[in-house]
Chains A and B, each alone.
Chain A
């Protein structure tokens, strides 16, 4: 869209004439100039590598955080069942707690974790875009 010249809006009150010339003002359209960060990354300079590494590292840290959360909750259940037999006899709404946890609650929990992850991952990418992307 940006590459196309925009036709000026018709002047109110003035009859539109085919031969009339209108000055187009406003910011320069067309391909925005690349930032220096982008060219540093393309040239694979040390500075460019630092930008890429920081993006990768922030995304990896986020992913590992998700793994930790899942390990500490869902992944800890077998150990909890083993070490805390009281859990096995607990009931909620007449259903044994292990069934409720593994058969029902775990699914909305996983979806919730996934949604939080996506929001943060996109946030990391927006920060990268602000740094590297077109201004």
Chain B
């Protein structure tokens, strides 16, 4: 792109998004006072705002930049990523949304402790939340670095530092209340940022006589051409369909619903919002095939969204639209990173910091620690592919928290040893696969396919472990199982005894 004017526009746009995000955060500061405000916005959030916030938080760098890049590079098979990331909410809706809200757990470790009544299960879950959170945060920070470099030519670490600074300002000053408003704002910003340039691009394409060159390559336009395509596709489907419910920043947001019924209705709106959004990056990928197919050979497909306006339109219009897309991309990094930092630091402060500091102080400190640690990791590991880390985070979530939630909510037989063993086996196997892929040691052949998309192996393994260890230890069923099941499933408007567990109060005696 032209170095002068375009960069100025881009910097101004990124600044505008950052200032707006901080402003919404500071506005929220006036309302948030207690620890529960910080964690879950005291549940005073309406359903549309909440659904926007969930979608805004969920649509990360992988969705805003990565999907278009994948469609450009790999064609129709990559459409399974956005389909899976949307269908994950349907699985979450039918199995988890209402019962999780009714459990009154703020976080996944809260849920683990509440359901199987074991502090060890809580600690294992906390470790996994931090692990999945960081796996997901690193690519966000890296995406920010790539974008800032593409827009202004600044070094990669600059973008990561900017995102970390803004997220920290927001988290430390306002907590989740401000994040909720900021996230809702981010969804609509991201939608508009992709929609407006797309309208111009499509008009240009029509004026040029709707060219279709580049769209006819057989292995691009037809599905299932890769080696081991059936395994890889189904493993991806399993990871994304079941991984969404185990993402820490997604789950914590359900507490902001008024009750279980509202949680369900919010999820339906989220499904619709995601479906509308994902039409856009797909279109960018297809247009990229026509106007920017050289990105495939240079391996820079992730920047196709940012480069299309310059290539197809050029001039001042191209500069302005690029700036708008840059702003949208930044919104994507900011919103997902904020949500992840909030949930990881919520878990860190509850389980580690609260011994030494008061609730709010430890929450803020944990936020600082999380962001700084991720920043260091990001700078240290620049060779990592953005899309890989995101999908691997889904695979880890599907292999650990998904069995915990599904069995914990729907099967009375789950015991603490079963839950711990299942999470440990699923976590160890999926994280090992992730490490092998990250270090570039993926072997050839079927084993390589299993390692690069581990979910189809590790998810069943985790389920089988959790069930069989639970059956072996069935004399260790939690003491309050009866009231736990009532709380998870009975609608709130029925007057029933639901047990005394509350994540903020002192912990109940555990078996």
Contacts and interface: CB of A to CB of B under 8 A. Distances in A.
Interface string B480-510: 0011011001110111110000000000000
A113 B90 contact: yes
A114 interface: yes
A129 interface: yes
Interface string B231-264: 0011001000000000000000000000001001
Interface string B420-434: 000000000000000
Interface residues of B, number: 48
Nearest to A133: B494
A114 B88 CA distance: 12
A117 B489 contact: no
A81 B224 contact: yes
A111 B95 CA distance: 16
B272 A111 contact: yes
A106 B82 CA distance: 10
Nearest to B261: A122
Contacts of B491: 125, 128-129
A96 B75 CA distance: 12
Contacts of A41: 486, 490, 496-497
A70 B279 CA distance: 20
Contacts of B275: 107-108, 110-111
Given A56-B485, A66-B94, A78-B234, A110 B271 contact: yes
A50 interface: no
Interface of A: 34, 38, 41-42, 44, 49, 52, 55-56, 59-60, 62-63, 66-67, 70, 74-75, 78-79, 81-82, 88, 96, 98-99, 102-104, 106-108, 110-111, 113-115, 117-118, 121-122, 125, 128-129, 132-134
Those 4 A-B pairs whose CB atoms lie nearest each other, nearest first: A107-B275, A102-B79, A63-B94, A42-B497
19 contacts: A41-B497, A44-B483, A56-B410, A67-B94, A79-B230, A82-B224, A82-B229, A102-B223, A103-B76, A106-B86, A110-B275, A111-B271, A118-B264, A122-B261, A128-B494, A132-B496, A133-B494, A133-B495, A134-B495
Given A52-B485, A102-B80, A118-B265, 4 more contacts: A49-B482, A56-B485, A66-B90, A114-B271
Interface of B: 76, 79-80, 83, 86-87, 89-91, 93-95, 98, 221-224, 229-230, 233-234, 237, 261, 264-265, 267-268, 271-272, 274-276, 278-279, 282, 410, 482-483, 485-486, 489-491, 493-497
